[in-house]
Every structure is written in C-alpha cells, then in structure tokens.
C-alpha cells in the first residue's frame, strides 16, 4: 500500500495523538511515495509490548522493524563501526556509561524531540546539542537470592565494602564491563565510591575473594546466579533495582513476593537514550519515531516490559512495579564528561587486574 504525502497539518495531528495530546508536533514533510519501514536497533532486553508500534504505523504509514544486538556494549560497538552508513535508522539503548563512546564515533544526527519539554530535565541536561534523547532511567545494583541467605541464617551484604569480606567469598558473579553495559555500570559504581586512588585496590580484593566475571548480564543472571532462573550456586549478581518486580510478574506459579532483593548502597544510576542514526535514508521519519518513543503511549509501556522508569513526566507507574521495585534516593553517579575522559584507561586497568 502506498502512503500519502504527509502534510504539516497531518503530521501535527499524528504526533499530538501519539504523545497523549500534550506535546507539540514536529513540522516535516516526507515527500516519499513508497511505504517506509524504519529499522530500530536495540539491545536484547528491548522487549516492548506486541503491537506497540501499530498506533504509530496507523498514524504515519511508517512500519517499524526491531533488530536486536546481544548487549548495549555490542550495540554501541556495531553502531560506531558503521557510523555514517548505519545498519538502521534509530538506535534505542545507549546509556550514560557508553554514551561518550557513541558520541566520539559521531553515531547520531542531532534532533530535539517534540516531547523534550515533557522529559526529565536532569536526563536531558546530560547531553549537549540534543545529540540523543533520554528514554528511561534505572539503577544497576547488586541483587541477592533471599532464600540462599535465609536457609543459611546468614545476613546478606549491605554495601560494596561487604563484597570483599571473606564471609562473601565465591558468592558474586558480575558481567564483564568490557562487553556489558551493566558490567560497566558496576565498574563505574566502584570508581564513584572509592575514587581514582581506591577503586583498583577494591577490585584486587574482589578478585582475591573469588568474584566470577562472565560476558553478559544474561550469562550472569541466568547462569551462575542461584536466584531467579539461574542454575548456579552464587547468591549475588549484578542486575537492576527493578529485577525483583520482574520476578513477581513473570513468576510461574504466581507469587506475591520477589525471591530476590537489592543491596541499595551499591546502586549506580543508568539513563538510556535513543537517537537518529547519522546517515539514515529516512531522517524525517526517524525523528517521528523518536517522538513516539518518548510519547506517553510508549513511555507507559516501559515499566512492565523493560522494567525501567519512564522519563515522560505524564507517564504512569503500575502499582505492582511500585510495590516491588526500589528507587535509591542517592544512587552512585559519575558525570558523563568524567566517564568520557577515563573510560578507556579504567577498562585497561580493569583488564590488567581481573583478566590477566
């Protein structure tokens, strides 16, 4: 089916409808006589509700195809290697731990979303010149298997300091920060906590306490971790503050309490972004998709599909998500400029300490 030319007035109505009627439209005219299918590149954890893009397609005539990479680290690496000649049109899932890498590679075409005035101001302020648009926030934290500690009448750790205590020897599994976004977030948490002079020593102690490093979050959470669907015997894992509500929602048989819990003082704030890929054949249609990703419609879908917090101020949080998730009041953070300046050296040092 051939799509009609999209006039300025029609686009205004489309974007306003998609964004819950609260945002102004993006003024554009596609000029395309053939149907357009946009490729949305994302990481493996991007699992929105089936049919979520039907409203967008019905309003614009633009179809959306999702292509997933294993992890955000892999996603950004591929995007950097193909910058200017991208494999897709829009990228979802570069976060504040990896953003500087993508910006250095000139992956994105700047665009200020029509919804920008309705998004988290602190998240928007992290990026200069509207290179990308914030889409969600969350926290990477140590999760623990509640039953493992209860069965042994042992108190779980309560801090990063505890993780190097011999009481917790051989209990922790972490994703590799060289290949994993949550793994990198955990590395940055240690740098935020112990500073340039102390984080290396802390990792040396963690190494001597028999921490296990694996390639990805899914390898850690569904492998050596003893909680959830993990098959291993390690009761501590790097995951998310929102993992417990996911355990409740997807439990089979159903349950009212989560089998895992979060060590709140280990949490590092993670912010994800989406952006128009430089070199896309369909820049104006790609901008409309970014607007839809930041609309109330899509943002309301995030808590129970991505298990993250929406950035649109008018989005709502389901009760089950609120009851079982944890939102640290003072998460560990690092300025993106500091991450950009130190990331390469930090990863080199990590490799020399942990992967020798």
DSSP string, 22-72: -SPPPP------S-EEEEEEEETT--PPTTTTHHHHHHHSEEEEEEEESSH
What gap in Å lies between CA 193 and CA 197, rounded to an integer?
A: 11
Number of Cβ within 10 Å of residue 335's Cβ equals 11
Strand 212-214, strand 309-310: pairing: unpaired
Tens digits of pLDDT across the chain (356 residues):
323 223 233 333 334 444 443 333 333 444 545 899 999 999 988 999 999 999 999 999 999 999 998 788 889 999 999 999 999 999 999 999 999 999 999 999 999 999 999 999 999 999 999 999 999 999 999 999 999 999 999 999 999 999 999 999 999 999 999 988 899 999 999 999 999 999 999 999 999 999 999 998 989 999 999 998 778 999 999 999 999 999 998 888 888 889 999 999 999 999 999 999 999 999 999 999 999 999 999 999 999 999 999 999 999 999 989 988 889 999 999 988 899 899 999 999 999 999 76
pTM recorded for the entire structure:
0.83
Question: Per residue in 127-154, is it b (16+ CB within 10 Å) or e — as a string?
Answer: beeebbbbbbbbbbbbbbbbebbeeeee
In CATH terms, 139-269+329-354 corresponds, of 3.40.50.1820, 3.40.50.2300, 3.30.360.10, 3.40.190.10, to: 3.40.190.10
Do 139-269+329-354 and 8-138+270-310 have the same topology in CATH?
yes
**Domain assignments of the chain as residue spans, ordered by start:** 8-138+270-310, 139-269+329-354
CA neighbor of 26 nearest in space, from 292, 337, 217: 292
pLDDT at 3: 30
* Homologous superfamily of domain range 8-138+270-310: Periplasmic binding protein-like II (3.40.190.10)
């Amino acid at each position: 089916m051939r799509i009609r030319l999209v006039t300025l007035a029609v686009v205004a109505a489309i974007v306003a409808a998609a964004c819950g009627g609260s945002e102004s439209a993006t003024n554009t005219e596609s000029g395309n006589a053939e149907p357009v299918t946009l490729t949305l590149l994302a990481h493996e954890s991007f699992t929105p509700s089936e049919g979520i893009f039907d409203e967008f397609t019905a309003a614009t005539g633009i179809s959306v195809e999702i292509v997933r990479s294993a992890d955000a680290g892999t996603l950004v690496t591929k995007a950097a290697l193909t910058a200017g000649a991208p494999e897709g049109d829009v990228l979802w899932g570069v976060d504040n731990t990896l953003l500087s890498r993508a910006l250095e590679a000139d992956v994105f075409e700047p665009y200020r979303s029509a919804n920008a005035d309705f998004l988290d101001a602190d998240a928007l302020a992290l990026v200069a010149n509207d290179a990308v648009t914030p889409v969600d926030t969350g926290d990477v934290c140590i999760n623990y298997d509640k039953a493992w500690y209860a069965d042994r009448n042992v108190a779980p750790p309560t801090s990063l300091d505890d993780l190097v205590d011999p009481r917790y020897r051989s209990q922790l599994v972490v994703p590799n920060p060289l290949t994993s976004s949550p793994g990198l977030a955990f590395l940055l948490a240690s740098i935020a906590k112990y500073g340039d002079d102390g984080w290396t020593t802390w990792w040396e102690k963690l190494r001597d306490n028999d921490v296990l490093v694996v390639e990805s979050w899914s390898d850690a959470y569904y492998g050596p971790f003893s909680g959830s669907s993990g098959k291993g015997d390690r009761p501590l894992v790097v995951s998310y503050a929102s993992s417990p509500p996911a355990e409740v929602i997807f439990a089979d048989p159903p349950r009212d309490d989560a089998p895992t819990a979060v060590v709140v003082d280990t949490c590092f704030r993670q912010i994800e972004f989406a952006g128009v890929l430089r070199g896309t054949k369909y820049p104006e249609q790609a901008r409309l998709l970014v607007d839809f990703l930041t609309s109330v419609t899509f943002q309301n879908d995030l808590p129970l599909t991505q298990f993250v917090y929406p950035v649109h101020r008018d989005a709502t949080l389901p009760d089950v998500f609120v009851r079982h998730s944890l939102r640290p009041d003072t998460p560990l953070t690092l300025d993106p400029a500091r991450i950009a300046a130190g990331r390469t050296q930090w990863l080199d040092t990590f490799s020399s300490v942990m992967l020798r």
